């Protein structure tokens, strides 16, 4: 029994070591990458931003008409478009995962707000609707 536990602990430690050393190997981000990621984060936080998700291509769209910026987040790339410029920037796995998580959290928060606003407008219960139909 003790040997079995030692083998399990060794496997867990090996997985943790592998994940920390090889899976998310960090390379120092270039200046363009860090600026693009901060721009994307600020646009996600901005109140006037609109969000759209393409379920088949897994692209995440951020549009802000006030600032005139359109961002597409997909396959470890950021595509930033303005009326004057367009950039396609490759980003690291770590930054891509952070941006996706922040994006997903923001979309989930907006969904919950929308759902609560719809549910707060309910005036009739199912039983009252059934009573009206029976009359």
pTM for this prediction:
0.70
Q: Helix, strand, or coil here: 120?
A: helix
Flag whether pLDDT at 29 surpasses 70: no
The half-sphere exposure of 56 on its side-chain side, counting CA atoms within 13 A, is: 0
Statement: residue 124 has pLDDT above 90: no
Stretch 121-125: mean pLDDT: 69
The answer to whether the beta carbons of residues 37 and 95 sit under 8 Å apart is yes
Decide if pLDDT at 35 tops 70. Answer: yes
Give residue 80's pLDDT. Answer: 94
Write the pLDDT tens digit of every residue in 55-109.
899 999 999 999 999 999 999 999 999 988 899 999 988 889 999 999 999 999 9
Distances in Å between the alpha carbon of 37 and those of 20, 90, 109? 22, 10, 21
**Domain boundary assignment for the chain:** 28-120
Per-residue pLDDT band for 110 (boundaries 50, 70, 90) equals very high
- Rounded to the nearest integer, the mean pLDDT of the chain is 86
């Amino acid at each position: 029994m003790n040997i079995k536990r030692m083998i399990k602990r060794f496997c867990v430690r090996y997985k943790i070591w592998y994940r920390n050393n090889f899976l998310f190997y960090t390379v120092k981000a270039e200046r363009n990458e860090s600026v693009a990621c901060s721009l994307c984060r600020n646009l996600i936080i901005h109140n006037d931003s609109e969000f759209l998700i393409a379920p088949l291509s897994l692209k995440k769209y951020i549009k802000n008409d006030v600032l005139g910026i359109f961002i597409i987040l997909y396959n470890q790339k950021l595509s930033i478009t303005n009326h004057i410029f367009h950039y396609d920037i490759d980003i690291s796995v770590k930054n891509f995962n952070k941006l996706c998580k922040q994006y997903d959290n923001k979309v989930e928060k907006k969904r919950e707000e929308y759902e609560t606003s719809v549910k707060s407008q309910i005036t009739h219960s199912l039983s009252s609707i059934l009573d009206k139909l029976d009359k």
